[in-house]
A and B are shown apart, each in its own frame.
Chain A
Amino acid sequence: MENVEYSTACSRAYAQGRKPSFQDIILTLSDYWARQGCVILQPYDTEVGAGTLHPATTLRALGDKPWKAAYVQPSRRPKDGRYGENPNRLGHYYQYQVILKPNPPNLQELYLNSLYEIGIDPKLHDIRFVEDDWENPTVGAWGLGWEVWCDGMEVSQFTYFQQVGGFDCKPVSGELTYGLERLTMYVQGVENIYDIDFNGNGVTYGDVFHENEVEQSTFNFEYSNVEILERWFKDAETQCNILLEAKLPLPAFDWALKASHLFNLMDARGVVSPTERQSFIARVRDLAKGSAAAWIDKIGMSKQEELKAGDK
């Protein structure tokens, strides 16, 4: 394990005799991955269910150009909202997302070093790579990898992308997703998300987000208007198809994401029957796959590779 030669937000926190704050961890991860040559991006400005859906991952995983990026992504999962009452669940939370294309051969070591920098010593803690194959049917993506466990807690998802949008990933991207709240709870030793020390200066996660969880849960479960959502879903679908027709994959993908989020909202209301559910997922997948195909056309992935992908 390399020595930490750099002063980071986390190392400064430890030097001050306190545990790193939520933002210390974010800053340290960004600092670390910037040193690995990543582009440090900002969150994508539309609602997504996971950091993978940021176009910097979904679309950039396609094609043969090298790409390294890292960013925080707020993730919305309306169904997981618990009115701010559950100490471990949120309808809105943060993921730290890293994508490296092609995956470097020492990606596991790079990842473990990042944990070391935020204060997890693998000789004191039990870090395990436990099989977990990742799949996201709404964007036609899958990969193999692990959940990374630290003393029995899943702190990250580690995936080697095999396909995105139904296309083979060549080269393969390595994707790391850190669950920031969990990781921070672990590092800080707190039992309740809302007790997380946000800034090392008296502000807790609850101060920042508790009211948001309560109100958004109320909206998600009680006040979201299914008729409106359905209408918007149709509109988003129409808009996306217009953009696909115009060969504009980036805005098309935005509208695919919007459709996906609208579906998640409807799903949270519990009004989507399993049959309808399948059909909504298929419609979103068509939009996402269409965007991926249009993107590939733009970046000029060779036709041969596309054909191969089509065989699968």
Chain B
Amino acid sequence: MSQFLLEIFSEEIPARFQKRASEDLAKMVKEGLEKAGVNVGEITNFVAPRRLGICIESLPNETPDVSEEKKGPKVGAPQPAIDGFIRSAGISSIEEAKIVSDPKKGDFYVVEIVKKGAKTTDIIKELVPSIVRNFPWQKSMRWGEGTLRWVRPLHSILCLFGGEIVDFEIDGIKSGNVTRGHRFHAPEDFTVTDFADYQEKTRAAHVLIDREERKKSIMSQAQKLCADNNLELIEDIGLLEEVCGLVDEPFVILGQMDEAFLDLPPEVIRLTLRINQKYFVVNSKATGKLAPYFIVVSNVNAADGGTAIAHGNARVLSARLNDARYFWDLDRKTTLEARVPKLDKIVFHQKIGSIGDKVKRVVELAGELSPIVGADVDLAKRAALLCKADLVTEMVGEFPELQGVMGRYYANNDQETLDVANAIAEHYKPVGPSDYVPTNPVSIAVALADKFDTLVSFFAIGEKPTGSGDPYALRRAALGIIRIILENKIRLPLKTRVSYELQSFFIDRLKVFLKDEGLEYDVIDAVFAGADDDIYRITQKVKTLSEFLKTEEGKTLLEGYKRATNILKAEEKKGALDGTFVASAQYLELNAEKALFSAINNTKAALAVSLNNEDYVGAMKTFTLLRDPIFDFLDNVLVNDSDENKRKNRLALLCDLRQMMSQVADFECIRG
């Protein structure tokens, strides 16, 4: 058994590819070796900005011989067939073959072919070049005069098996036992004997090959700097994943920015730090607010302790923030209102028109929706008019992520009312399933109007989401509307707003939403079988019914319902159900049917009241009153009486029952 160590050394691999590439390399090596018959135990993979590698502690030195039986023609087969078999099996005469008897097919020739095992070194020699040539980089390139492709120019391949170089060459790059350390701290080449030696030497050469170790080191250094300076680190997993791919050995430095910048909107500062500069953001422990510091992860352990680096970064940050301040100051010189006409020049969608057109529609719609959501019509229309105006500000041009947020700042600056300013920021909400839902009526009106307009407009031009694609995020818009309606208990019949097609789209989204909330499919279907188009009411029904069906009363009532409707269905099948027959007291004979008749009649009114008040808990209670009479009836009354009137009367009673319950849901859909 011997150790296999492979390192592919290149120019800086993009941070976002590193983790995946490292996993891909391990997978390809493992699969390649196993395919060649080498058993692979545990495989260690590692990655740093300039290298990808794997180590397998113990691999067999060769693969065992494999014998395989090659089946030939029947004994006595024509000569050409036998000759062909001799050739293909690699034997000199047919005498070398065994004769095997098969009870069905008779006697035929068999030759045992032994495939010699291979040396693992030879397998690796074939495997590594093929992995390099077929590596699944998302983007790859050529360099110099070569034809090889890699993510960035590939410089060397270290490949050792049992401490020996596995010899091969790819496009002029010869495998070897040499690698390099940190670009600046240890630029010289060094040789390596095995993985322990490799780990020791790379570490000494300022390269931490383990991604997780780099991440831990960044976090602990950053935490310490914060603790020492009374700051609180804002953790940022995405940023950590990125910066750990930009350094061989992290040196974390605390930088300071001019406190005067803190009068900029904190969102602007945070975004500048994170997105533009890849710095971690820190808050002051004392105030809990953004502090005039930042955390930078450097790749260099500078002789001056990082003073020059901290200073340099602070200056770059100042330039960025000065830029932001320039936008901030300039933007505030023009009111949002004055910017609105400019929106006519920005295309929303070629077939739909400009953002200016959209705004005009959203203003109208927000006005119409205001009374429904309890918003002041004038405020909602005002907010709608201004809600996209920040798109033509310098700041949003620079940081599109700040759309809405900047609008709120600028609206405040323009002395718009608080409701209007907040609605500008909140009308994009909720952006994702975990985002918050606006609760202020003005915000609700504009958020709904904007999303309805988007959906209606795209459906009108036939741009609907497909199974695979939803480029305009229409599902998200519909889900946003659903969440706004539910969380704010808004009553909005869809029919009055959208086409039939779009209604079905909403209903589908609502089904998905309710299923994600943990509600059962059959209960959802039962409620959706009704023609209700009120999202809030539908949801209430589903939830109440779902709870009810978990109770003993619910379960037995459902059972009774099923038994009763089975009788009706059998009649319907025969075409023998007279739908016009009205149950009447005069044909009642048995106590059980009298009891059911009066139970239905006594509860009809209560049910109507409950339904009218949308009190579904009350409706379920009413149903509960029917349970015993139903069972009594089913157990004691024979529906198929010889007297036609009695029979029809009994069926009509069951029809009444079915009709009553169907006012809440189609219980037929529910699994018994």
Expressed in whole angstroms, the Cα–Cα distance for A186 and B311 within the complex equals: 11
B143 within 8 A of partner (CB):
yes
Stretch at the interface among A67-75, A125-133, A294-302: A125-133
Tell me whether A152 and B303 are in contact (CB under 8 A). no
Stretch at the interface among A84-92, A229-237, A255-263: A84-92
A208 within 8 A of partner (CB):
no
Partner of B145, one of A145, A171, A189, A274: A171
Expressed in whole angstroms, the Cα–Cα distance for A94 and B307 within the complex equals: 30
Tally of contact residues, B, Cβ under 8 A: 49
B246 within 8 A of partner (CB):
yes
In B245-260, which residues have CB < 8 Å from any A CB?
246-247
Expressed in whole angstroms, the Cα–Cα distance for A126 and B296 within the complex equals: 10
Residue among A131, A145, A273 with max Cβ neighbours from chain B (10 Å): A131
In A243-281, which residues have CB < 8 Å from any B CB?
270, 273-275
Tell me whether A126 and B299 are in contact (CB under 8 A). yes
Residues of B near A185 (CB, < 8 A) are: 319
Partner of B308, one of A124, A133, A145, A152: A124
Given contacts A123-B300, A124-B302, A126-B309, contact A89 B323 (CB under 8 A): yes
Which chain A residue shows the least CB distance to B50? A129
Expressed in whole angstroms, the Cα–Cα distance for A127 and B183 within the complex equals: 10
Stretch at the interface among A5-13, A24-32, A100-108: A100-108
Tell me whether B322 and A191 are in contact (CB under 8 A). yes
Stretch at the interface among B11-19, B196-204, B419-427: B11-19
Tell me whether B139 and A191 are in contact (CB under 8 A). no
Tell me whether A160 and B313 are in contact (CB under 8 A). no
Tell me whether A126 and B322 are in contact (CB under 8 A). no
In A151-179, which residues have CB < 8 Å from any B CB?
151-153, 160, 162, 170-172, 174
Residues of B near A131 (CB, < 8 A) are: 12, 14-16
Residues of A near B144 (CB, < 8 A) are: 102-105, 171-172
Which chain B residue shows the least CB distance to A150? B312
Partner of A122, one of B141, B155, B300, B323: B300
Partner of A125, one of B14, B277, B300, B345: B300
Tell me whether A270 and B345 are in contact (CB under 8 A). yes
Tell me whether A86 and B302 are in contact (CB under 8 A). no
Kindly provide the distance from the CB of B278 to the nearest chain A CB, expressed in whole angstroms. 8
- Chain A contact residues, majority secondary structure: loop
Which chain A residue shows the least CB distance to B349? A274
Given contacts A128-B246, A130-B246, A151-B316, contact A274 B347 (CB under 8 A): yes
Residues of B near A63 (CB, < 8 A) are: none
Kindly provide the distance from the CB of B645 to the nearest chain A CB, expressed in whole angstroms. 75
Tell me whether A153 and B300 are in contact (CB under 8 A). no
Which chain A residue shows the least CB distance to B245? A131
B184 within 8 A of partner (CB):
yes
B635 within 8 A of partner (CB):
no
Kindly provide the distance from the CB of B186 to the nearest chain A CB, expressed in whole angstroms. 11
- Chain B contact residues, majority secondary structure: loop
A242 within 8 A of partner (CB):
no
Tell me whether B312 and A172 are in contact (CB under 8 A). no
Tell me whether A126 and B323 are in contact (CB under 8 A). no
Kindly provide the distance from the CB of B100 to the nearest chain A CB, expressed in whole angstroms. 53
Residues of B near A160 (CB, < 8 A) are: 141-143, 152-153
Residue among A108, A151, A275 with max Cβ neighbours from chain B (10 Å): A151
Expressed in whole angstroms, the Cα–Cα distance for A123 and B155 within the complex equals: 23
Kindly provide the distance from the CB of A311 to the nearest chain B CB, expressed in whole angstroms. 15
Tell me whether B142 and A275 are in contact (CB under 8 A). no
Tell me whether A151 and B184 are in contact (CB under 8 A). no
Tell me whether A152 and B316 are in contact (CB under 8 A). yes
In A75-123, which residues have CB < 8 Å from any B CB?
82, 85-89, 102-105, 108, 122-123
Expressed in whole angstroms, the Cα–Cα distance for A124 and B306 within the complex equals: 7
A33 within 8 A of partner (CB):
no
Tell me whether A129 and B12 are in contact (CB under 8 A). yes
Residues of B near A87 (CB, < 8 A) are: 319, 322-323, 326
Residues of B near A145 (CB, < 8 A) are: 152
Tell me whether A191 and B315 are in contact (CB under 8 A). yes
Tell me whether B323 and A275 are in contact (CB under 8 A). no
Partner of A275, one of B12, B246, B318, B350: B350
Expressed in whole angstroms, the Cα–Cα distance for A268 and B183 within the complex equals: 43
Given contacts A86-B326, A273-B347, contact A162 B316 (CB under 8 A): no
Tell me whether B315 and A133 are in contact (CB under 8 A). no
Tell me whether A123 and B303 are in contact (CB under 8 A). yes
A146 within 8 A of partner (CB):
yes
Given contacts A86-B323, A122-B300, A130-B246, contact A186 B312 (CB under 8 A): yes
Kindly provide the distance from the CB of A37 to the nearest chain B CB, expressed in whole angstroms. 16
Expressed in whole angstroms, the Cα–Cα distance for A220 and B246 within the complex equals: 40
Partner of A129, one of B11, B141, B312, B322: B11
Residue among A104, A145, A172 with max Cβ neighbours from chain B (10 Å): A172
Residues of A near B277 (CB, < 8 A) are: 152
Which chain B residue shows the least CB distance to A182? B319
A41 within 8 A of partner (CB):
no
Given contacts A103-B143, A125-B308, A275-B350, contact A88 B345 (CB under 8 A): no
Which chain B residue shows the least CB distance to A106? B155
Partner of B319, one of A88, A102, A128, A144: A88
B317 within 8 A of partner (CB):
yes
B45 within 8 A of partner (CB):
no
Tell me whether B12 and A125 are in contact (CB under 8 A). no
A20 within 8 A of partner (CB):
no
B516 within 8 A of partner (CB):
no
Tell me whether B298 and A124 are in contact (CB under 8 A). no
A143 within 8 A of partner (CB):
yes
Tell me whether A123 and B185 are in contact (CB under 8 A). yes
Kindly provide the distance from the CB of B513 to the nearest chain A CB, expressed in whole angstroms. 34
Tell me whether B304 and A124 are in contact (CB under 8 A). yes
Tell me whether B299 and A144 are in contact (CB under 8 A). no
Residues of A near B141 (CB, < 8 A) are: 143-144, 160, 162, 172
Tell me whether B315 and A189 are in contact (CB under 8 A). yes
Residue among B155, B277, B313 with max Cβ neighbours from chain A (10 Å): B313
Residues of B near A102 (CB, < 8 A) are: 143-145
Residues of A near B139 (CB, < 8 A) are: 133, 144
Residue among A122, A145, A185 with max Cβ neighbours from chain B (10 Å): A122
Kindly provide the distance from the CB of B11 to the nearest chain A CB, expressed in whole angstroms. 6
Expressed in whole angstroms, the Cα–Cα distance for A238 and B527 within the complex equals: 67
Given contacts A88-B319, A144-B141, contact A123 B184 (CB under 8 A): yes
Tell me whether A128 and B299 are in contact (CB under 8 A). yes
Kindly provide the distance from the CB of A144 to the nearest chain B CB, expressed in whole angstroms. 4
Kindly provide the distance from the CB of B21 to the nearest chain A CB, expressed in whole angstroms. 13
In B325-348, which residues have CB < 8 Å from any A CB?
326, 345, 347
Tell me whether B152 and A151 are in contact (CB under 8 A). no
Expressed in whole angstroms, the Cα–Cα distance for A291 and B322 within the complex equals: 42
Contact with A along B170-210 (1 / 0, CB 8 A): 00000000000001110100000000000000000000000
Tell me whether A152 and B322 are in contact (CB under 8 A). no
Expressed in whole angstroms, the Cα–Cα distance for A89 and B278 within the complex equals: 22
Residues of B near A186 (CB, < 8 A) are: 312, 315
Residues of B near A85 (CB, < 8 A) are: 326
Partner of A151, one of B140, B143, B278, B312: B312
Tell me whether B152 and A144 are in contact (CB under 8 A). yes
- Having A82-B326, A152-B312, one finds 18 other A-B pairs with CB under 8 Å, namely A124-B300, A126-B299, A126-B300, A128-B246, A130-B246, A131-B12, A151-B309, A152-B316, A153-B312, A160-B143, A160-B153, A162-B142, A170-B142, A171-B144, A186-B312, A191-B315, A273-B345, A274-B347
29 sampled A-B residue pairs with Cβ under 8 A: A1-B187, A86-B323, A86-B326, A88-B323, A102-B144, A103-B143, A103-B144, A105-B153, A122-B184, A123-B300, A124-B303, A125-B308, A125-B309, A126-B299, A127-B184, A128-B299, A130-B15, A133-B139, A150-B312, A151-B316, A152-B316, A153-B316, A160-B142, A160-B152, A172-B144, A174-B143, A185-B319, A270-B345, A273-B345
Give residues in B with beta carbon < 8 Å to A.
11-12, 14-16, 49, 139-145, 151-153, 155, 183-185, 187, 246-247, 277-279, 296, 298-300, 302-304, 308-309, 311-313, 315-319, 322-323, 326, 345, 347, 350
